[in-house]
Structure 1
Amino acid sequence: MAASYENESENRFNGNSFSIPFQEIPRFPKSDKRVNELISCKEPVIVTGSDLVGSASHWSLDYLAENIGDGTFNVYKSASRKFKYYSDKKMQAVHEFAPPTQLLEMRFQEFMKLIRSKTNTNSERIYLQQALNNSVGPNIVHEFVNFNWAWASEQQQGNSWGQLTSNLLLVGMPGNVTPVHYDEQENLFAQIRGSKRFLLFHPDQFENLYPYPVHHPHDRQSQVDLENPDYEQFPNVRNLHGYEGVVGPGDVLYIPMYWWHQVESCPDSEENISVNFWYMAGSVEKIEHPLSAQQKVAMSRNIEKMCLEALGDPSEVAPFMKMLVLGRYT
């Protein structure tokens, strides 16, 4: 479906202003045929009335603390608003890499007390990110089982996605930001409490968002800081355009695989609770030319991984690729 960038939205972060052309993320009720059309075309859409997590609509910090069980949960701590993903398995490949967040393990009751004690938005922040599994309490299990799995399965089967890999419970503070990145899975993002602002960018924005190399701990993350873009180092960011939308309680956002997204918890609620549904990629798309932007991203990742594996040294990858291109394809 063709995109139109007639309206330009100005975004302000920390006193710095810059303009990115945005169009609104399409929003339709579950019954609207355009929902299936957009999902089948691998384009984002906010779906209303799906009741995907309706059985969890009453979840709150207090309710979860009483019912989720006594297990430990993954809680990330950050000195800033940003919670930038990194792979600890790749940290050895980059000398002097400083993790931007710290992973803690704690019971939910402890997390709840901690998150409520952090009232100063400029102070240290925390963010719970935990896969839901059978270790949670019986009430949570019952409500989880009563999600609208029929609708989720309809999307999975109708679009030939692979198996469901995980359901991630996300509980954060107002203003928390997950910086621009993309995932290698299909994602149904369901909002339960509070709201989140999404900025989405098509995979064809690959050159404008300057992803880290695949060997880097920040693989799949953008090097561009949208709050303070460095136009000298990343000049293509001036060409960036995308989608913007707010996901509220009961809404489900479909984020197609390889679509870049930045997520911010809106300051409209002290509690921000979400659950996402991650699905593996389906069968390999038929190779037709020109290749889709998604196929090009996948191909570039595979080529980069092959070079890295063969050369055995990340520092040799860039010179090797330059040797293949400079003077031959330029």
Structure 2
Amino acid sequence: MNQLPCTAVPRLKIDDFDPKELSSPAIIEGFDIGKCLQWTPDYLRNTMGDKHVTVHKSDHPVLKFQPRNFTYETFQFDEFLTHAFDENCKSFFYLRSLAKAARDDVANFAVDYPELKADVEFPPLFEEDQFFSSVFRVSSADVELWTHFDTMDNYLLHIYGQKRVFLFPPKDVSNLYVIDDKPRVFELDNVSVESFPNLKNCSAWKCVLAPGDILFIPAFWFHNVKALNFSVSVNVFWKSLPSELYDAKDVYGNSALLPGQRALQSLDSTLNKLKGLPAPIKDFYIRCLILKLEALITQ
């Protein structure tokens, strides 16, 4: 087992931060995120105790999307909070807030959690018409979310507890053992480089978030987040590209951009045309395609 060599995520004063100019992660300092820094589990319980929430529940702290090792269950918020805050609980819980009409609408913290919205101050990092969603996240200790990327710039406004975050630039897609856009690498604090040798080629970044930290995560940067203890955050997404490039049916902010979807579909169609060829000839044409694609990267 090995520790990944990492670059520390830099800290920037909010007055020096411009997401249009920055293409790498940063922790933003110098902004007061409000009364939410005074939240306690008891305050949250008293404020939202009877609210119903749908959460991820698992017998293992490392949540995996494929194959899925968790179930979705609905609890009253105070019951969920009791389980999530109990470090002796044998199950692990993770809330990723959803809109009431979750299949059609994006999450919006101010709308979905009006009881708490006045407690949180959001930094003005983008124009109002760029806003996509804001997600309330509450996690048991030790919960690690599967490594993934989002197609929108976003920031993680951290409120309670500590979170460890690994980040990888988009170019590492070829080193993260990605299948169907999900990397197959987990438990990154003590990962097996022998099992995943390409990880040695990654350009990993790392940070630990404390209450009040605001982590900027650029679009298409892979990230793996672990709650080191009971943790609360709000995640805000915005569109940094023209709206017509995004999938209108996407409510999570991670569907492929429309040009990317079309390109991948065209590639699937192209590869299907080679299926009937003898293996050596098919191999030849696939290698020709690879050469053309690699040439595009340098253009």
TM-score interval, smaller chain: 0.7 to 0.9
| 1:326 corresponding residue in structure 2 | 287
Partner residue in 2 for 1:94: none
1:208-240 deviations in Å (ceiling 9; x for gaps): 112112xxxxxx3211233443645x4422212
Give me the whole-angstrom Cα distance separating, in 2, the residues matched to 1:246 and 1:182.
19
Shift of 1:169: 1.0
- Aligned residue in 1 for 2:2: 18
State how far apart, in whole Å, the 2-side matches of 1:77 and 1:318 are. Answer: 44
* CA offsets 1:81-135 (integer angstroms, 9 cap, x no match): 112346xxxxxxxxxxx42211111111111222244515xx3211111143535
Counterpart of 1:41, as a letter, is L
| Contact 1:71 1:136 (C-alpha < 8 Å) held by counterparts | no
What residue in structure 1 maps to residue 11 of structure 2?
27
Aligned-partner SS, 1:198: strand
Unaligned 5+ residue runs, structure 2? 98-106, 244-255, 277-281, 292-299
SS in 1 for 2:182: coil
The answer as to whether partners of 1:170 and 1:274 remain within 8 angstroms in 2 is: yes
- State whether structure 2 residue 184 is matched by structure 1 residue 223: yes
What is residue 210 of structure 1 aligned with on the other side?
A: 177
- Mapped pair 1:46 → 2:27: yes
AA of the residue aligned to 2:43: Y
CA distance in 1: counterparts of 2:167 and 2:91, whole angstroms: 27
RMSD: 3.1
Q: How many residues align?
A: 261
Question: Conserved in 2, the CA contact under 8 Å of 1:118 and 1:124?
Answer: no
Aligned residue type for 1:224: V
Counterpart secondary structure, 2:216: strand
Does residue 280 (structure 1) correspond to residue 239 (structure 2)? The answer is yes
Alignment of 1:242-261 (within 5 A): 242-261=204-223
Q: State how far apart, in whole Å, the 2-side matches of 1:46 and 1:223 are.
A: 27
Task: Report the secondary structure of 2:80's partner residue.
Answer: helix
| Post-superposition offset of 1:283 | 2.7
Distance 1:124 1:318, change over 3 A: farther
Matched residue type, 2:113: V
Aligned-pair identity in percent equals: 23
**Aligned partner (choices 160, 168, 172) of residue 135 of structure 2:** 168
- TM-score, normalised with respect to structure 2: 0.75
CA distance in 1: counterparts of 2:129 and 2:69, whole angstroms = 32
| 1:247-267 Cα deviation digits (max 9, x unpaired) | 111110000000011111124
Q: Could you tell me the TM-score, scaled by structure 1's length? A: 0.69
2:78 to 104, 109, 120: 109
Q: Deviations over 1:180-216 (max 9, x none)?
A: 2111111111000111111111111111112112xxx
Residue segments in structure 1 that go unaligned for 5+ positions in a row: 1-16, 87-97, 214-219, 285-296
Equivalent residue number for residue 134 of structure 1: 111
Equivalent residue of 2:84, what SS? Answer: helix
